[in-house]
Structure 1
Amino acid sequence: MLQDGKLYIGTSRKPDDTINKAEYLDLKFGNRHGLVTGATGTGKTVTLQILAEGFSNAGVPVFCADVKGDLSGIGAVGEPKDFLQKRATEIGLDPYDFQEFPVIFWDLYGEKGHRVRTTMTEMGPLLLSRLMNATDAQEGVLNIAFKLADEGGLALLDLKDMQALLNYMGENATALSNKYGFISKASVGSIQRELLILEQQGAEQFFGEPALKISDIMRTTRDGRGAISVLAADKLMMNPRLYGTFLLWMMSELFEQLPEIGDPEKPKLVFFFDEAHLLFNDAPKVLVERVEQVVRLIRSKGVGVYFVTQNPLDVPETVLAQLGNRVQHALRAYTPREQKAVKTAADTFRPNPDFDCATVITNLGTGEALVSTLAAKGAPSMVERTLIRPPSSRLGPITEAERAALMKISPVAGLYDEDFDRESAYEILAARAAKSTEQAEAARKAEEEPAQADASTGGSRWTLPGFGNDEPDAATRTKPKPRSGYQRESIAEAAMKTVARTVASSLGRALVRGILGSLRR
């Protein structure tokens, strides 16, 4: 339900459980980012679903990750169920209409959606270091690798391109260190092992071409609705570092490619980051600073980023301060950390004199949340205890047949499903290595040709003991032939010349000593 440029979230209740008022998210503040938190089973996924539906109906494209597989139902018409009808009646949602939404399924592995790829070059050394959990020394080597690729015109597209470049760097570490700084062969080897681990985890399917175009996740339909891109992340969650790095890469790409537009009437794109704690777990400081920078500055590009996680403590304070729209589902408070999380969540809301936030957070029911959005002049509204509206699309996953049918009519069908491997660093370095081998072989043959020619004409040759034939044949003993104008000396002649050279050298040294001695006197 959309009213005057506002997205309907639910209806708040008074302390006596009577209906209070409808709660909205103002679209013009949709790019001010948001946070959806709550314990498992409290309704975070449904909240994500109804927000995505609202943005889509408002003509705003949406990108979200389907971690558990049940968000795919957004592409099918909702089904009337008793508890959904009850909630609609309870909050006064009349009429409660069902509809399907324009959805595009994506999958890094190409199993449950269209393939998603990017290149090594677009990923860059910082995010690649994060993906490999690289040390400072290894990160330095990666920076040199990208610098070397830029200067050498080597396109880094996939894992084998990076492996080939690292092999080249290891073989020429001494020469390259003089120009680019110290390159440790141990660090090169460590990076190669990490790349092998990534390959075994399926990351080779993520790196390559055709790379994802940001414009393809910012589509709208002919009837003006925004397309909802759903990333299949159930298998991807087995490699959480790849998941977090991919989503951070996408935000970085949006930041770099989209123009500055200030504060539009509605966002150009809304980005939901489910299981957000995976991005920040053990993240180095430089990466957290990068996330903070992107979140702070991408707002002026018209992009809203919404983090979805279980605990507000999962998000660093510097990032948390940038999130203006809040939906807080129930939290448990059994451990000291959980109690701290409850206090943190309560302190982030604008207080409501009718109730104590810290107490209410632990008593919220499923599908109920504390909601505070940005209101007039961008100030946060007073927090309200809200019953979240039921979704219009299907609650739960769609079937594999339904998914296949939606992929077949997708606007990006056929664009990303086939691999394309053009000439890049791997092919260029392999060609150079082959050429060097050919040149070395040609030089070796050129050196051997005179010797082979002499052997064919019966010419004599010197050999070392144990290598080749030490005894000349009979023809050679009876008829020695000159070699390139050089006549072999007899033993007596050689001895006479040696004696002459010795005498001459002794006489020369004596004369020099005599001359120098006379000068000293």
Structure 2
Amino acid sequence: MSDFAADITKAYAVEGPYVDLGRGVLDDETHPDAMVRVPLAMMNRHGLVAGATGTGKTRTLQVLAEQLSAGGVACLVADVKGDLSGIADPGDPSPEGAAAKRCAKLGVPFEPTGFPVEYLSLGGIGAGVPVRATVSDFGPQLLAKILGANETQEQSLQLVFHYADTHELPLLDLADLRALLQFLDSDAGKAELEGIGGLSSATVGVLLRSLIGLETGGGNEFFGEPQFDITDLIRTAPDGRGVISCLELAGVQDRPQLFSTALMWMLAELFETLPEAGDLPKPKLVFFFDEAHLLFADATDAFLQSVVQTVRLIRSKGVGVFFVTQTPKDVPGDVLGQLGNRVQHALRAFTPDDAKALRATVGTFPKSDIYDLEELLPKLGIGEAIVTVLDEDGVPTPVVQTKLSAPRARMAPTDDVAAAVAASPLNAKYGTRLDNQSAREILAARIEDATAPEPSPAAPAPTPDAEHVPYPRKAPSRRKRTPAGDAVGGGTGAIGDFLNSRQGKTLQRQVVRGMFDLLRKKL
């Protein structure tokens, strides 16, 4: 074993289960003994997979997902281009296949293997079990991101959601939100918000126009019921392998604001739903956030702060997050600083801006005594990367040029996603859209009652003879006596009466929105 291989093997040594990233490379020579591995327990310390288009990021994502599944960890992968669905099928067994050749170079056997996969899609756009969310649960902050709302418009949406929460108006789909905006801008509804800031007609007009684009751009399909239970992402197959949830995004790849924000909703739902777990021997779920730059583009400060806080805290829920994008500068510094595992594919430097991005990327890596990263990064081949991860003690490993492992599953779309979806138990749970009573119907009934004509007064009854007038009796009181014990036990007692009052319900609803203003599942 060479000194280089010995140094790398020592730096990347793991006693427990691990993910095998590949083998170290020095001076264009691959060293099969220089094993580059990341401890499975460190996969919830988050990570970044970056690189220019065509450098192999998708295959790196596939390798990570396959090995996590083999280790019993569930994953969510975003399939933007539609070429990850083949992860359910074994790879090409031919010795002349790309995967077999790569394994031969690394000195490892190639064993074609398929993995347990659940195919999902946003609202049923594309092949997959429909993933839906209600507007109420999605919350005003994420919705404002999709609509491209400015800070003032986002605050107005928060006011609208506050009104819906306190008046028990379920916003299930975009039609409900449209109806509520129109009501609050009408003569009948304007006074409703005057005491807490009001809502300008100009802002309502902008939001209504933005809703049109969202409705025709996949929003009508995504928003509604039944809402996807986020814990359905965390499952294992009967053989103990983690289920890979493959979210089909090819059908909405021309609607980047929708799918990137929907991914953030899923991550925030995990944060709000899962209990604290502390440091686990392996994550419950690893969440791969593809096209991450779309999430941060034109984001408000409040939105970015929520992203930072979610990423910082969700590790303790047993969830790891890997952002997949082109350069580290696509990710805000406060988020980038929390990504302990880094796989950096090649960066090209064709323009002055590219050269600047290259230097910025090099500055985010630990200093290397054996590599000139600014010179090396543009020369990396497909399936090669600069790697640094956290070891079992949480210490960053030395930077190493790595020839990455090959996927064991198929590196192309599978043949029949529709059949797999039809056979899925989740399809029976989410396949059929529901249309329950919501804000639209409630507001329509309220307006109809308000505009209904007053009933004509009844004609007075004839006065009977005095001798037939009954003796007046006192009407019984309708108020029931409150037992003393109920005053502290809820129900119909003093506290129970307060909690059932309008003020009490307002107080209860004021505490059920958490990160990103999502509805909290637990108080």
TM-score for the superposition, normalised by structure 2: 0.81
SS in 1 for 2:146: helix
Q: CA deviation at 1:312?
A: 1.5
Please show how residues 65-464 of structure 1 align to structure 2 within 5 Å: 65-81=78-94, 82=96, 83-94=98-109, 96-110=110-124, 111-171=126-186, 172-399=188-415, 402-437=416-451, 439-440=452-453, 442=454, 446=456
SS in 2 for 1:195: helix
Please show how residues 31-42 of structure 1 align to structure 2 within 5 Å: 31-42=44-55
Q: CA deviation at 1:36?
A: 0.5
Q: Which residue of 2 is the match for residue 512 of structure 1?
A: none
Q: Which residue of 2 is the match for residue 60 of structure 1?
A: 73
Q: Which residue of 2 is the match for residue 486 of structure 1?
A: none
Q: CA deviation at 1:414?
A: 1.2
The structure 2 residue matched to 1:45, chosen from 58, 82, 86, is: 58
Distance between the aligned counterparts of 2:179 and 2:74, measured in 1? 39
Q: Which residue of 1 is the match for residue 512 of structure 2?
A: none
Distance between the aligned counterparts of 1:151 and 1:4, measured in 2? 51
SS in 2 for 1:93: coil
Query: 2:19 matched to 1:7?
Result: yes
Q: CA deviation at 1:436?
A: 2.5
Distance between the aligned counterparts of 1:309 and 1:228, measured in 2? 20
Distance between the aligned counterparts of 2:404 and 2:326, measured in 1? 17
Distance between the aligned counterparts of 2:172 and 2:307, measured in 1? 24
Cα 1:66/1:390, change in 2 over 3 Å = same
Q: Which residue of 2 is the match for residue 494 of structure 1?
A: none
Give the RMSD, CA atoms, in angstroms.
1.8
SS in 1 for 2:369: coil
Check the 8 A contact 1:176/1:183 in 2, yes or no: no
SS in 2 for 1:365: coil
Distance between the aligned counterparts of 1:337 and 1:317, measured in 2? 19
Distance between the aligned counterparts of 1:100 and 1:86, measured in 2? 19
**Aligned pair count?**
441
% same residue? 46
Distance between the aligned counterparts of 1:430 and 1:173, measured in 2? 12
Q: Deviations over 1:455-477 (max 9, x none)?
A: xxxxxxxxxxxxxxxxxxxxxxx
Distance between the aligned counterparts of 1:140 and 1:323, measured in 2? 31
Distance between the aligned counterparts of 1:273 and 1:302, measured in 2? 16
Q: Deviations over 1:220-262 (max 9, x none)?
A: 1111111101111112221111112111111111111111111
SS in 2 for 1:230: strand
Check the 8 A contact 2:75/2:243 in 1, yes or no: yes
**Which stretch of the first structure deviates more once superposed, 193-202 or 222-231?**
193-202
Distance between the aligned counterparts of 1:312 and 1:136, measured in 2? 26
Distance between the aligned counterparts of 1:370 and 1:181, measured in 2? 53
Check the 8 A contact 1:15/1:355 in 2, yes or no: no
Q: 2:127 is matched by which residue type in structure 1?
A: K
Cα 1:103/1:16, change in 2 over 3 Å = closer
Distance between the aligned counterparts of 1:174 and 1:152, measured in 2? 15
Q: 2:103 is matched by which residue type in structure 1?
A: A
Q: CA deviation at 1:335?
A: 1.7
SS in 1 for 2:425: coil
Q: CA deviation at 1:125?
A: 1.0
SS in 1 for 2:55: coil
Distance between the aligned counterparts of 2:162 and 2:193, measured in 1? 13
Check the 8 A contact 2:123/2:132 in 1, yes or no: no
Q: CA deviation at 1:394?
A: 0.1
SS in 1 for 2:367: coil
Distance between the aligned counterparts of 2:190 and 2:380, measured in 1? 64
Distance between the aligned counterparts of 1:411 and 1:60, measured in 2? 20
Q: CA deviation at 1:388?
A: 0.8
Distance between the aligned counterparts of 1:147 and 1:290, measured in 2? 19
Gaps of 5+ in 2: 1-13, 460-523
| Bigger proportion of residues as helix | 1
Cα 1:16/1:130, change in 2 over 3 Å = closer
SS in 2 for 1:7: strand
